Amino acid sequence: MRKAVFPGTFDPLTIGHVAIVRRGLHIFDEVVVAIGINSSKTPMFRLDQRIEWVKKVFAEEPRVSVDCYDGLTIEFCKKLNATAVLRGTRNVADFDYEKSIAQINRSMQPEIETVFLVCDPAHSAINSTWVRDIIKNGGNASQFLPPEIVF
């Protein structure tokens, strides 16, 4: 079975994230949305809320699960017997950043591949930081969020 881990903070989960997971299901038998606990970041939304959002958005898709982890993503992949890390890239800067991580991960666990999916053009400007900023300032971010996430 080909299992991919899609890591991130998902603070919040956006329509761009959802699109990458759905496209990943064309390649992998299972995708685990892995919410990383990063001590250098202070999330806006509680971990339990982010887990619940993923469960709600993918409630009708049994091949998508959600988990959380701390530490190295590649070690979490190994623990889950995942064959790949799934990553979405919006632009060259994303790719350069992700490429460096992928190369280090490959040196640590060469049997686990990193698969990059280029985002849909309609999602290229969406990132969680900007969506959080819209929400913090009382704006309407609904066009960037799955319909299951309502504020």
Please identify every residue annotated as catalytic.
Answer: 17, 41, 90, 128
Distance CA 128, CA 16 (A): 9
Answer whether 51's CB lies under 8 Å from 35's CB: yes
Identify the CA nearest to 36 among candidates 64, 93, 81, 77: 77
Q: How far apart, in whole angstroms, are the C-alpha atoms of residue 30 and residue 61?
A: 10
